[in-house]
Every structure is written in C-alpha cells, then in structure tokens.
Structure 1
Amino acid sequence: MHTWCWQTWEELPYLTCSLLKGWEHGFFTSAFSPRSPAEIVDALQPQAQVYRVRQVHGNTVLTSSEIESAARASQERKEEPEKPPADGILTEQPQQAVWVCSADCTPVLIADEKTGQVAAIHAGWRGTASRIVPNAIARLLNSGSRLQDIRIAMGPAIAGEVYQVSETVAAEVGASIVAKDKAETLEAILDVLQQLPNPPILDDSQPGRVRLDVRRVNALQLEQLGVSSEQVAIAPYCTYQEPEHFFSYRRDKLKKVQWSGIVSKTPDANVFSS
C-alpha cells in the first residue's frame, strides 16, 4: 500500500507519496498561495529549471524543449512570452521541474524509475474525457520508457461522492473507458459504468445528475493500458471537503489554485529494489 505523508517547508504543509520516493516532488496546499512554482521549487530542488504551461482543459502534452521553442518563437516575434496551451509537461533532461495547478481537477505526477524522466498532468473532467494521462504515457513510451517502469500518483482532487455532474458530462468522461460497441447511447454508457467494480459514478438524488469520480476513471484508463494497480497511487484527500488545506473552485467559486510539481533526475537502474 502506498503511503501519503505530510511534509513541511518554511512551516507550510505539502504532501508526498511513497510511490515517488525516489524523486523530489510535492502536492502543495493552499498555504503556499500566492507563491508561484519559481518560488515553490526551492522546497524541492532550488537548482531545477521550472516548466509551466497555460492550462486549457485539453489533452495536449508538451516536452520541455517544445515549451522552450514556444518561448523563443514569441521572443522572435517580439511578443510577450506566453506559455503554450497544454495540460501536461514531460521532461527530457535531469533537473527539470514540471508543474501543474488545480483547484478540484486531478494533479497527476508520473515518474519513470529507469530513465529518471517525469511528467506533470492536469486532468479535469474534460482532459480525462480526452484521455490526457494515456497521451502522456504514450509520449513517455515513444521516448524510451517501458510501461512497467512508470509510477503514477494522483493528488488531492474533488472526490466522487461530492462531485455532482450532469449525466451528459458523466457519459462523456465514461466513454473514454467504455468499448465503442457498448457506448452508443448515454444510457448505455452509464449502465456499463455502474456495473464496474468500484464504479466511477454514483447515484444522485437530483434527476439527470450523478456523482463522478474522475480519479477512478483515470485509474481505469491506466488499467486498460496494462498498468498494474501497484504502479498507481491515489491521494485520500478531497479538495472540496478539506478547506483547511485546499482551494476548491466548486466550493468557493474563486480562481485560486494549488500547485503540484516533480523534478526529473539522472537515469538510475537501481532506484527501487522491487
């Protein structure tokens, strides 16, 4: 069983996951606001180079060099350097820190125990519906990773039991894990989802609504890729239900976020004995 531990930096709390123990990483709390990753990175690795994107609830995953190219292109056009639109970042060299922000959506940190590469993903319901985490895994595999070496930690996000959505949204997200021949209607998709073990949707008292567990859908996407459950950890924390630690857009309707980040390292074949 993977453990989640509270750490402190400058007396401020953040979370780490035992699955990622070989990497400097953190799921940071609202207490770090309004600090940016350029400041928070000091808690992990002050020398690391920081990479961010402009999150747009899509499924684009960019590499660190693609982000650098976008910055150079805007400089050449003599424009203000604007972060490229994406919701996932992949490292290519050691000492690169990749960051995503969230306020109910799922922050996903991914690490490869052989190559030392890491990724940070922002997976809201739209990104999950368009399979952003499998997209990130595909890019890792294309750059030399092996599926069995990948470790995935999903941080604090809104829990399924309190995340009320329309049946239409639930079906759009659920279609990402339902076979096409069983996904011809909204009702068919919801029916398949309800039959699954530990189903990602729960009933809601309001007609036309259900409760949706986005992290569970991401876990099922990974399972379908062939990722074992031992390679995945899901934080037992809900942004909506824990206002003392986390911002929640659904709860407060404020555009405030917490950051999650991880730092790549040099390849090491002996990070884990198991």
Structure 2
Amino acid sequence: MTKNADWSFFRVAELEEKGIVHGFCTGGTPWDLLSSKIKHDFLDAFLLKDAVVLTQEHGSDVHVVCNGEMPHSGDGLIILEKNVAGIIKTADCLPVILCDALYPMVSIVHAGWRGTVKNIVGKAVLSMVEYGSRTQNIVALLGPSIGSCCYEVKEDVCAVFKKCGFPEHIFLRHSNALFLDLKKANEWVLSGYGINEVYNVNLCTQCNGTLFHSYRRGDTGKRQINFVSIKG
C-alpha cells in the first residue's frame, strides 16, 4: 500500500514507472470529489489538472475524455488527455483499470454484477481499440471488491449470467448458498478479448473492514475512490 498526502491506495509500481498514475484507495481516505476542497487537494497531491467524476448508473455506458469534454453520467471512462484523472467510486463493486502505456491511453470502469453482465469491460476494450490501442498492449488491473467469500446472490442473478454466456465456474455453491466471483467473471471477459496480463488486488471489501467501506456491511453512504491518469 502507498500513501500520498491524505490518500492511501494500492497500485502497480511497474505501471507507475511507465507513466500510468493510478490507485485503488482505501476507505480511510477522502472520497467526495464533488467537494471543491477535496478535489483541489486530490489534484494537487497527484499533480493533475482535472478529474472526471461520473454519476454512476450500474449500466454499461463508456465515455471518452478528450479535447476538454467532461461527461457527467455513466460507468466507464476512456482517458486520452494527459494529467486528467478518471474516477470511479466503489463500495463492493469491482473497479477495473485498463491501460496501454505505449499509446498511451487508459480506461476505468465500475463493474458491479449488472455492468459485468452488460459487458462494460468489453465495451471499454473495444473503445480503446477504436481510438488506436491494440489489445496485446492492454494491461488490466482489478481492484478491491466484494469477494466470492461474501458475495451471496440469488438464482435469478445466476440465470442472467448464464443467459449471457458466462461460464459456471464464476459461481460457487456451498452451505445451500450461491456466491458470485466478480473478478473471475471479468477475467473471463478480458481473456475473450485477448487480454491476459491482469493484476489483481485480491482483497475483499466486506472482509476487510479496517481497510474498506462495504455496502453489504452497512456502509451505504460511503465509498472508495479509484483513479487512473496518463502522466504529462
């Protein structure tokens, strides 16, 4: 874990060295970037000129940030401008960062079960390719989320995934209960697009109450922020 000013976060050092500024923050750090002071402090700490914070909808809309455009709602961002951070807030859902350090280009998405089944990660990959990236150059980072140890779901959720072609192994059954592995589901999606270099912050937000907020644990009004930017 790394600390910068008020922000404690997990990152991949090798990508930071390639100019990909990123982090999966812990629950003990400021997260409300709609506050002008918190946003100012965040930009100052990470030497950024701006940050895009979406009103998240548990959907699959992925927006491109370039030429000063600032989308307002959706669940995914493609960042083409340097020193502009894409921000995703989570409290059990899976934050996914995609980066092509050669282009350079980055993406960040909010992948809850609804976004996952709607293929938001795949749509982000296709958007990156549309703007000039190559899948063999894309690296994926999976941040902290609720794990299969805790993510109990109903049979109707399982049925939706199966209808969309997801494999059985993303679900675990024990003690007459059904559990979803969001990370395995999105790893399966990524592999289908030829992306096999995947870093995984293998921490469960519900289990690790000292590190993270968790919606299922009762932290309904609090979030972690997750961010990515291209260093200018």
With normalisation by structure 1, the TM-score equals 0.76
Aligned counterpart in structure 1 of residue 23 of structure 2, from 22, 26, 29: 26
Residue deviations 1:35-90, cap 9 Å, x none? 4272333332x2332112110000000011498365xxxxxxxxxxxx2x210011
User: Higher strand share goes to which structure?
Assistant: 2
User: Higher helix share goes to which structure?
Assistant: 1
AA at the equivalent of 1:114: L
Give yes or no for the alignment of 1:13 onto 2:8: yes
Contact 1:131 1:176 in 2 (8 A): no
Number of residues paired by the alignment? 225
CA RMSD of aligned residues (A): 2.0
Identity %: 28
Contact 1:119 1:136 in 2 (8 A): yes
Q: Write the mapping of 1:1-274 to structure 2, written as runs, cut at 5 A.
A: 6-10=1-5, 12-18=7-13, 20-21=15-16, 22=18, 23-36=20-33, 38=39, 39-44=41-46, 46-65=47-66, 68=69, 83=72, 85-178=73-166, 192-193=167-168, 199-206=169-176, 209-228=177-196, 231-265=197-231
Shift of 1:12: 4.6
**Structure 1: 4+ residue segments shifted above 4 A:** none
Shift of 1:233: 1.2
Shift of 1:265: 3.7
Unpaired runs of 5+ residues, structure 1, are 1-5, 71-82, 179-191, 194-198, 267-274
User: Distance between the aligned counterparts of 1:118 and 1:129, measured in 2?
Assistant: 22
User: Distance between the aligned counterparts of 2:13 and 2:70, measured in 1?
Assistant: 34
User: Distance between the aligned counterparts of 1:34 and 1:113, measured in 2?
Assistant: 26
Unpaired runs of 5+ residues, structure 2, are none
Contact 1:101 1:259 in 2 (8 A): yes
Whichever of the two has the greater Rg, that structure is 1
